[in-house]
Chains A and B, each alone.
Chain A
């Protein structure tokens, strides 16, 4: 399998291309996806795809989030595999009925007569744009039965998870962190933490419902997703120099949630730190902490601890946003505190 160096934007675009080649039922729907001279979606992921697949399959819509998501639901009901894009993840709230009441419940309400194989792509994360273009929304969907939730941290996973999501027979919420998109062939954010990695050209899938151990360690388990995974990895490097060996797990899929590796790691290390960009209350970390409490309590030497954004809207000024988003330093501090406890 030949590989190419790709940013996440390139890997996602490649995933879309592979899916559209392999299945004529796959199509894209959203705002500014394929306008000639336009920008290929909010973050250039769909750039060039209209030229390759035509404007029918790279369907540009009015500014109508209810209609984008609703049309994806309807098309999925009749056997298509739509991939809908919100220009910014925050805008999904305009179409939330279509996600929570429609996409998520159709299979159940119909007693399995219909299914809704669609993907909803949401660019998330703070990037100096203020409160309405910055939210990390994964917990909203994790709380909704019937949805799957995916949040990759790197280009390889992004492509493989996207392909798996497209081929899954359920509605999948696919979160993409703006600071992980990367620049090559795409729009690079100034604060970008994007890595370019080797990504296979071919068709491959990373199974949904999996987490990934990114670094092994024996003293402490750190669970993190998307941008926070990179902060956690940096923190683990610093901690290692101080003699604290952290195991870092990428929470790349939140629903279904694969508790087994998390439980095993917690039992091994006895200490768990959760790092999320979502605000603290009711975030995915709260759910994971509660479950670990149920299954690994007697193995724990310290309370499961969370480092998360505060319970405020996302501020815009860089210095305030820096305070809001969990930093490497905060991860290190929390880890040291847990180890001392």
Chain B
């Protein structure tokens, strides 16, 4: 009993405790002042009543002594006194104690509760006086005043006191809780921060003014800073690791194995790819160049070429560049494009870059770049195409080396304009008619349990035709500004699915969406009107978009996270050095890009990288999920590297 009471007091909020203590203090204050007031009031009234009794008895006795003692006179005098004043009793008794005359009021009860009278009974003595008849004694007069008014007065006073105590208590309670709220305001932020840190969201807050809170906030801010710094350092180390494993140290471009796994991973993903282009350029006579310029100069030349290609890829997001052999540079376009113009663009870029700094544009006579272009289809692989292209380049090496070969090229450019019109009508019609559905692919934890289902969109461009995967239309949807609309409809579909009792669903949010306040508003409205779905909805944004529009992504997280949705990043792998920046966003998961996962069992460098990546993810409370898992060997390798889940063609749900 005692211990539970103790417990309840300690679990009360400060405001409640404040009110309780004010209530107790007021009770005490009221009790005390009631007691003091009642006692002193009682004493005062008793004295007054007694004095009145004595005085009035004396003056009535004086009047009586003067008059002839006829019964009528006596009766009249007593009645006159009694009726004109407030008396309980006036009695004249003779010397032998016999009552001569008496007036007594019917004991009119004071308008006061009985318990109150019992509590403070007024103890008033009657007033006595002698009545003379000439020289002889006539009798004794006894007079008692009516105490009714006194009781009522005391009662009124006590009630007023109670009311005032209540008012004062209420006012001090209100003022006190306001003051407490002001004092506590900084604490609220600190509690918020502590909770955030508990969720491994390492946020910093503005230090409050109150010294005690300030110290606390400073300590926690320091913790957040330290974590952030540690994450940054770790990310940089990881980036280093990634570079060593995946990049060619001389040119800074992707190395052969990484280029192949990136492009093949890309090309095997129906959701983002349908048809692309591969360009391979070769520096003729690299050995000769090496001889002529020396090793250092040649490395510098290759570095310049690498920088040029990197710049190109940065400008056009759909391009990926790599150095696949000493003299061979490859550029892959994930979009269908005019191969010849792409190759020309690359060649002129490389020639420009090859010019030594500070020299004129003239190059040594035998410097030449040849290029081969071919279309890249889903079934293609880089290795196979490289062999073919290698063959073509090798054949031509004897003759004209500065040229562009286009293999199996169709004239795409001429079709482009008609395509655009056609695509617009196709996509718009499909969206208007809501001819879209979600395909579901399981994302499972290492113990085989489902984490959620990825839900790429499928469109039926014309009624009753085949459903086509996203890779075939997403580039057009992007170009035609239909992505937001499409994504919105995808979320509606996903919520429908959840409302129909489906398990958790992951939905892609494009980079363009997170920069679109209109879209975010609609998303919030959709989720809010289906509150049961929020925690089953996993929203993922591509890594590229996250770091390109980091401010927008932060606002997106701040707007969406409070609704209860899960937010994650997909295709993580290229921007690991910036992973530390995610420390205060409260994200739930990252999905690691297929280019890192592909053949992970054979790639020692990527293993170390992936292990580090998972470590960072876990330290800020993120699930690490592998994308595009294909083989049993890959699956086997993942748990020991620290991954929490996986998805891909090789992953089957156990449900």
Pairing of A with B: no
